[in-house]
Chain A
Amino acid sequence: MSQQGGGATVTFEHVTKRYDPGVKGPGAVNDLSFSVPAGKICVLVGPSGCGKTTSLKMVNRLIEPTSGRILIDGVDAATREVTELRRGIGYVIQQVGLFPHQTIAENVAVVPRLLGWSPARQRERADELLGLVGLDPARYGGRFPSQLSGGERQRVGVARALAADPPLMLMDEPFGAVDPIVRERLQNEFLRLQQDLAKTILFVTHDIDEAIKMGDLVAVMQAGGVLAQFAPPEELLAQPASDFVARFVGADRGLKRLSLMRVRDLPPHPAVTARPGDDAAGARRRILADPFPYLLLVDRQDSPIGWLDQRAIPTSGTLTADEARSMSPLFGPETTLKDALSMLLDNEVQAGIQVDRTGRAIGLVTAQDIASAARPDGGAT
């Protein structure tokens, strides 16, 4: 792999775009100021006409601001030669905009070609990027865009934007034109890519769920091009800055917070465990002292076997696996709290078991644990 990655800081300073009255154009923007640190994904989200796309296009100067400055790594974009500026910024749009008359490999190598790379280097780079976005270069490189599915075209669009390894990418509803299943897959693939690439990304969407999922930072914009709130998604959901933001993120923002939090984020909730063959009286004493009424039976490797109701534990003798009741759902540390809660509800149980990568039981995850984590105060107990 070649050297890839590294982002640029992007700063909007009092950026305003006004249109003459009567001119039907994209949304205006009013005194927009915010800063995106290098390597972060900043999502611009809001209803149509809120100026989010206008804001994006002012970065690569497809639209020129009326006033204010946009700094990329401290340099005012307005002072740079416009084609040179654009060649240094990746650009992905909803309709993809692949060139129908060029092969997929040629499409990916558009910016390298504009930059005057040698044909051999262009081809090498195109192959590398197609592989990166999950398209076999031998199979896809020679095809024309019309021969690809919508999802495949979107992948090519992302590969093309990455071709010259730009520190900054602008993505305007990049996954808006594909069906929800493909969109979800593309989102996940892109987030995985971004972990290695660490580009600075400005990402426009009208979909608050996509904003919360993709963004390290979310800029919520409202009609008139006004910035309503600029915050990490967790903060947006926990403390909406205005009624507009609260309405826009939706009445289910508590549930949305759950999709941002993972089982590993919960405060530890140790389970009372025992192994088959252990002394029953001792185990009984321990579980009666615990507020949770079930003893977790584990095997020699600490993998869960099943539950023992505290009342069903004999007062003498040893524990056996025979009396263990059916299992609860198992959660890995990366399971989102939303998925965890959903599984608890589906299985009609009060608690799931958190296991580590090797399957060892770590502790309990109860509906109560999840509910307190979802509270706007961050679940601090």
Chain B
Amino acid sequence: MLDWGWLSSHLGAFADRTVQHIYLAAIALLVGFLIAFALALWAVRRPRVYPPINGLAGITYTLPSLVLFAALIPITGLSLLTAEVPLVLYTQVILIRNIVAGFQAVPQDVLEAADGMGYRRDQRLRRVELPLAVPLIVAGVRIASVSTIGLVTITGTLGDRFGGLGFFIFEGYTRSFATEILAGAVLSIVLALVVDTLLVAVQRRLTPWTRPPTLTTSVRVMESGTP
């Protein structure tokens, strides 16, 4: 079934494409997170702007990626920008909703206590609200990472310079070579799983207070309505 000889002779190409895949996904996630975080903070401070932001992000999520590429190529050509814009856009709805939910999940009594003890606005945000929003923010980053890593394969439509592991899928398809298609798909899935596992570990480190789930804490978490 599988052409083991082809696989073993292309290990170098797998490594190069994996690096490219990580590079393309990392840029999209980093830029996407910065934009989403800024928009989410704005929405938390001014609840009125949240529905339009959320609606816009939702609409972009429904656009087919190929249509977006087609629309961008006349403007930005076959460039990195053309590859990244759709990837960034697709992270927005997931990240914005999770970051906003993270800040909204901070209990009211904690905020009142922080104000009453004399935290300034920025101190409260950095030292109280942000750490408490971390579990939901990381949950959003995990979903966005997995979906972005999957989407990076599509950028292969823009040519050899893009696509990461998706390159093998496209090339295998044109050559009707199942081994190559499978190699690209499996490696892409493994990459997504590895990144997801790493993010879980990161969250554990960032939120030690959520770790020892005694009976009382799990009941309390359920009551506070955290998804």
Contact = CB atoms under 8 A, between A and B. Distances in A.
B138 to A, nearest CB: 14
B48 interface: no
B124 to A, nearest CB: 10
A94 B109 CA distance: 9
B209 interface: yes
B117 A111 contact: yes
Contacts of A147: 212, 214, 216-217
Contacts, number: 76
Interface stretch (A98-106, A124-132, A268-276): A98-106
A100 B209 contact: yes
A99 B123 CA distance: 14
A110 interface: yes
Nearest to B130: A101
B1 interface: no
Given A62-B115, A95-B109, A99-B110, A83 B216 contact: no
A100 B132 contact: yes
A91 interface: yes
A83 B118 contact: yes
B123 A114 contact: yes
By CB atoms of chain B within 10 A, which of A86, A93, A101 has the most? A101
A96 interface: yes
Q: How large is the interface on B (under 10, 10 to 19, 20 to 34, 35 or more residues)?
A: 20 to 34
Given A87-B117, A147-B217, A97 B132 contact: no
B128 interface: yes
A101 B131 contact: yes
A97 B118 contact: no
Q: At the interface, is chain B mostly helix, strand, loop or mixed?
A: helix
B112 interface: yes
B119 interface: yes
B116 A100 contact: no
B61 to A, nearest CB: 31
A84 B119 CA distance: 9
Nearest to B220: A146
Interface string A48-91: 00000000000010100000000000000000001111110001
B75 interface: no
Nearest to A157: B113
Interface in A138-167: 144-147, 149, 160
Contacts of B118: 82-87, 111, 114
A93 B128 contact: no
Given A84-B118, A86-B118, A111-B118, A146 B214 contact: yes
Which DSSP category, helix, strand, loop or mixed, fits chain A's interface?
mixed
Interface in B161-182: none
A101 B110 CA distance: 11
Instruction: Tell which of B107, B109, B118 has the most Cβ of chain A within 10 Å.
Output: B118
A292 to B, nearest CB: 57
A101 B132 CA distance: 7
Nearest to A84: B118
A96 B116 contact: no
Contacts of B126: none
B207 A114 contact: no
Contacts of A95: 107, 109
Nearest to A149: B216
B94 to A, nearest CB: 24
Given A146-B214, A147-B217, A86 B209 contact: no
Contact of A101 (B209, B212, B217): B209
A94 B108 CA distance: 12
A102 B132 CA distance: 10
Given A83-B119, A86-B116, A114-B117, A97 B109 contact: yes
A225 B165 CA distance: 70
B189 to A, nearest CB: 34
Interface string B15-54: 0000000000000000000000000000000000000000
A145 B109 CA distance: 14
B205 interface: no
A86 B117 contact: yes
A144 to B, nearest CB: 4
Contact of B113 (A84, A85, A96, A144): A96
Contacts of B114: 97, 99
- Please indicate which of the listed interface residues B109, B117, B119, B214 has the most CB atoms of chain A within 10 Å of its own CB: B117
Nearest to B115: A62
A149 B216 CA distance: 9
17 contacts: A62-B112, A83-B118, A83-B120, A86-B117, A96-B113, A97-B109, A97-B110, A97-B111, A98-B110, A99-B113, A100-B107, A110-B117, A111-B117, A114-B119, A145-B209, A147-B212, A147-B214
Given A111-B118, A114-B117, 16 more contacts: A83-B119, A83-B120, A85-B118, A86-B115, A86-B116, A87-B118, A93-B113, A93-B116, A96-B109, A97-B107, A97-B110, A99-B114, A101-B128, A146-B217, A147-B216, A170-B116
